[in-house]
Amino acid sequence: MTFVLGGLAGVVAADRPDLLAAPTLEALSRSNLLERVGVVEIDPEDSDTAATQLKFSLDPHVLANCVVVAGRREGEERLGGCVVLATTRADINGIVRRRLDVRKASFLPMARAVGLTGMEYGGITPIGLPPGWPILVDAAVVERPMIVIGSGVRRSKILVPGAILRMLPSAVVVRDLGMPIAS
């Protein structure tokens, strides 16, 4: 089976586990999703969203980004992931802050995000985030028939039906999580 989107053509993830970060591979295996998602090898230089879109002639509405966020409440740090379309940005100080039940939410610094997720910066994906972290997924993402997300490493991308993200442990579909990017 092949997965095709724009200029990206991938194979079933089960056929190329070497293209997935260890936590991503483990999560896909545990959830029996290795046969339901595709993976495609790319040049790490093309990993950033804008570069991927340009290089592979992709509609920006099929690219989704995952960011790692944190906040504190009563001395307790609360971490989570947010997945939004590339045409939007996560409502960190509104919806995310309320969902994490923290006073202020912010992006996790790069070194910490990499260390806690076991994934490469620029390739972080919701698939394989640490257990117990809420994964807030914009409803617009799960409504897409196919999306492109990170694989946990910069040298590949995952092609996945958006609806599969709602199946991830700790996933919460949130309407209007992604806010349009001001031009």
Specify whether the CB–CB gap between 134 and 170 falls below 8 A: yes
Phi, psi dihedrals of residue 177, rounded to the nearest 5°: -65, -40
Phi, psi dihedrals of residue 120, rounded to the nearest 5°: -85, 145
State pLDDT tens for residues 23-67: 999 999 999 999 999 999 999 999 999 999 999 999 999 999 999
Decide if pLDDT at 167 tops 90.
Answer: yes
Specify whether the CB–CB gap between 13 and 39 falls below 8 A: yes
Specify whether the CB–CB gap between 66 and 125 falls below 8 A: yes
**CA-closest candidate to residue 125, choices 4, 35, 37, 53:** 37
Q: What 3-state class would DSSP assign to 94?
A: helix
Within 13 Å of residue 30, how many CA atoms lie on the same side as its CB?
Answer: 13
Dihedral of the alpha carbons of 2, 68, 133, 151, in degrees to the nearest 10:
20
State pLDDT tens for residues 97-136: 999 999 999 999 999 999 999 999 999 999 999 999 999 9
Mean predicted lDDT score pLDDT of the chain: 96
Integer Cα distance of 164 and 130 in angstroms: 18
Decide if pLDDT at 2 tops 90.
Answer: no
Q: What is the pTM assigned to this prediction?
A: 0.95
List Cβ neighbours of 60 (8 Å cut-off, separation of 6 or more): 53, 85, 86, 87
The CATH number that domain 2-180 falls under is 3.90.960.10
Mean pLDDT along residues 14-22: 98
Specify whether the CB–CB gap between 96 and 137 falls below 8 A: no
Q: How far apart are the first and last CA of the chain?
A: 39
Integer Cα distance of 105 and 50 in angstroms: 25
DSSP H or E stretch at residue 67 = strand 64-73
Task: Identify the band that residue 183 occupies on the pLDDT scale cut at 50, 70 and 90.
Answer: low
